[in-house]
Amino acid sequence: MSAPVYRGRFAPSPTGPLHFGSLVAAVGSYLDARAVGGEWLLRIEDIDAPRNVPGAEASILHTLAALGFVWDGPPLRQSTRRERYREVLERLYRQGDAYPCACSRREIADSRLGPSVDGGLVYPGTCRAGLPPGRTARAWRLRVPDAVVAFTDRVQGEVAQNLERDVGDFVLLRADGQFAYQLAVVVDDADAGITDVVRGADLIDSTPRQIGLQRCLGVPTPRYAHLPVATNAAGEKLSKQTLAPAVDAGGGVPLLAAALRFLGQSVPLAVERMATAEFWAWACAHWSPAAVPRRRASPGPDQCLPP
């Protein structure tokens, strides 16, 4: 039996334009796929409708195309898949893996279990055995085991969490009616046949949750590679919240070379004088996953930082 075709993806959220940090994730995931002749899919993670910025998706697609990215097939939009997420949530409920929860954020905070591994709140399991009398469901949660979920990240190495202790039963459908990222990303990856996920290390702490959900659904777990995220002078991750500037769609090969150097790749100055198509051919031939720094964050180039 032949090995499965590498199928990777890049999944930006249209909450703002493409900045240097998201460009790094795009370059890393693109080269990791293309260097082995794999497919690279584009997914627009617009499921969190209140955060979407008008025009951001068009800006992202324009910037990627201008920089020579070529994706396989049309972009997939999470906003078109709500019925699919609901179908999966109903299946999890029938299996006994999902349940309704009446707790407010204040009530969870008052439990004093402390923060979760990624800064949220550990859920105390209040509604695990059923809704308290007189209460109605606000959200839906996944029932997690008191067990360690571990995986080997291709960049960061061994990662392990006890889901019950470190996170608690996590949200699948939020109180505002929006499906949670964890549910949407697992369903999307499984339905698309994603074999490899290359993304920023800011998402590494949520990966054990996704693996736990994959196991509940009986779907394959992709290989993961979490790249260092770019930070500003204050040590903050480049993002809309930290006022990270948009990358210049006309920045061309020098901008792409900066992203490659951030990822630990050796890029001669002569490469910056190449045409875009020539650059991508060179980058695919010289891509070295082993050279990516084994750290979760690194300072971004000065020219890409907020003023």
Domains and CATH numbers, the chain: 7-79+228-304 (3.40.50.620), 82-181 (3.40.50.620)
List pLDDT tens digits, range 100-132.
999 998 888 887 676 777 778 899 999 999 999
The answer, yes or no, to whether residue 151 has pLDDT greater than 60, is: yes
List pLDDT tens digits, range 271-284.
999 999 999 999 99
305 pLDDT tier (thresholds 50, 70, 90)? very low
Q: Give the pLDDT score at 302.
A: 60
* Residues 6 or more apart in contact with residue 17 via CB below 8 angstroms: 56, 59, 60, 63, 246, 247
Q: Give the pLDDT score at 235.
A: 76
| Residue 62 tokens, joined | 């324009």
* DSSP label of 16: S
Q: Is 218 left (phi over 0), alpha (psi -120 to 50) or beta?
A: left
The percentage of the chain sitting over the pLDDT mark of 90, rounded to a whole number, equals 79
Q: Which residues of 276-299 are buried (b: 16+ CB within 10 A; e: fewer)?
A: eeebbebbbebbebeebeeebbbe
Q: Is 125 left (phi over 0), alpha (psi -120 to 50) or beta?
A: left
List pLDDT tens digits, range 28-72.
999 999 999 999 999 999 998 888 999 999 999 999 999 999 999
Return the SS3 of 43. Answer: strand
Q: Give the pLDDT score at 49.
A: 85
